[in-house]
Structure 1
Amino acid sequence: MATTHFDGTDTPTSGELPAVGDTLPDFTVVDTNLGEVSLSDLKGKKLVLNIFPSVDTGLCAESVRRFNAEAAGLDNTTVLCVSKDLPFALGRFCGAEGLDNVTAASAFRSTFGEDYGVVLEGSPLKGLLARSVIVADEDGKVIYTQLVDEIKTEPDYASAIKALG
């Protein structure tokens, strides 16, 4: 079990992020059109998983905007933004913001959070996903991870993008 923080208070997660060098666990999440997106659908591309509690918070929304801007300059890379928000909320947000360089997806009916060790076990956000970033190469091998130490701070965008090479 890993630990992040919410307003400085220790907040455990359901497990550990996949380690650098590991192969990503398979997953299926739901896109904004209610279609399923699985890891196998993304094979052959580098993958950035931007994981966050809810797009309805300013910081989470900013992470999606920022990764959308970064994704515009990335070759052979998918940026998948994952939360437990309903697909409708994710679609409404991305549509209103004109965000089309990322794929937003919901883990609301999957074991993604448990499989990736990112379900918050404490704090007022219990049950949502911890702010984290995982980067994998074209073969699904993990090349970078970050469990953000304080939920109310942004991830290290530069390090995540740099890991892509």
Structure 2
Amino acid sequence: MANVTFINNPVTLVGEEVTVGSKAPDFKVVDNGLGEKTWKDFAGKKVLISVVPSLDTGVCDAQTRRFNEEAASFGDDVVVLTISMDLPFAQKRWCGANGIENVITLSDHRDASFGEAYGVLMKELRLLARSIFVINEAGEVTYTEYVPEGTNHPDYDRALEALKAL
């Protein structure tokens, strides 16, 4: 399991670590209109999943903005998701206030289904650990990054290279 800290304090990640070559685990999250979304809603597409603890923090804000900018250059066969524990109302407000239109924000607040399925639920904080997953059209995980310190940025370039390689 990935060793992760948050503000330099060790955290326990709940769930199994997702590895390259594995099938993308299913999950159940809530969209900004309070509708339920699962992995099946994105199956058959190239998917980059950007996981953040909360959109209302500097690094999470920057991460989501970066992937929003990059997503504009991809075709309709690519979906960029940002998943956090933020309430759907807060996600919708944040996206509207920041002009975020190319990333789909999803909330795991209800069941922590995504967090447990992808091994990113921080037990002590009930937040999601910063991470990136790239999944191909066949539903196979082709790239993962569990960021070792939750307040640090992910490797944007490597994640984007993995997506472009699909």
Give how far 1:64 is off. Answer: 0.8
3-state SS, counterpart of residue 135 of structure 1: strand
Q: Which residue of 2 aligns with 1:115?
A: 117
TM-score by length of 1: 0.93
Opposite residue 67 of structure 2, the aligned amino acid is F
Look up the match of 2:82. 81
Partner of residue 155, structure 2:
156
Written as runs of structure 1 = structure 2, the 5 A alignment for 1:16-165 is 16-75=16-75, 76-110=77-111, 111-122=113-124, 126-164=125-163, 165=165
| Deviation of 1:10 (Å) | 2.4
| Separation of aligned partners in 1, 2:85 and 2:9 | 22
Structure 2: distance between partners of 1:73 and 1:108? 30
Count residues with an aligned counterpart.
Answer: 162
Give the letter for the 1:119 counterpart.
L
Letter of the 1:93 partner, please give it: W
* Aligned AA (2:26): D
Residue 143 of structure 1: SS of its match in structure 2?
A: strand
Query: How many angstroms apart in 1 are the aligned matches of 2:103 and 2:97?
Result: 14
Classify the secondary structure of the residue corresponding to 2:48: strand
Cα displacement (A) at 1:109 = 1.3
8 Å CA contact retained: 2:2, 2:148? no
Task: Please report the RMSD computed on the Cα atoms of aligned residues, expressed in angstroms.
Answer: 1.2
Whether the 8 Å contact between 2:15 and 2:115 is mirrored in structure 1 is: no
Distance 2:79 2:17 in 1: 19
CA deviation map 1:137-163 (0-9, x unaligned): 011100000000111111111111101
After superposition, give the CA deviation of every residue in 1:56-96 in whole Å (9 maximum; x if it has no partner): 11111111111100111112110110001000000000011
Shift of 1:135: 0.5
Return the letter of the residue paired with 2:102. Answer: N
| Paired amino acid for 1:81 | T
Instruction: Report sequence identity in percent.
Output: 46
C-alpha displacement of 1:121: 2.5
**Alignment gaps of 5+ in structure 1:** none
2: CA distance, partners of 1:153 / 1:163: 20
Residues in 1 aligned to 2:47 and 2:81: alpha-carbon distance in whole angstroms: 7
- Given that 2:23 and 2:140 are in contact with CA atoms closer than 8 Å, whether structure 1 keeps it comes out as yes
Segments of 5+ residues of structure 2 without an aligned counterpart are: none
Q: d(CA) in 2 for partners of 1:71 and 1:132?
A: 17
Deviation at 1:9, TM superposition (A): 2.9
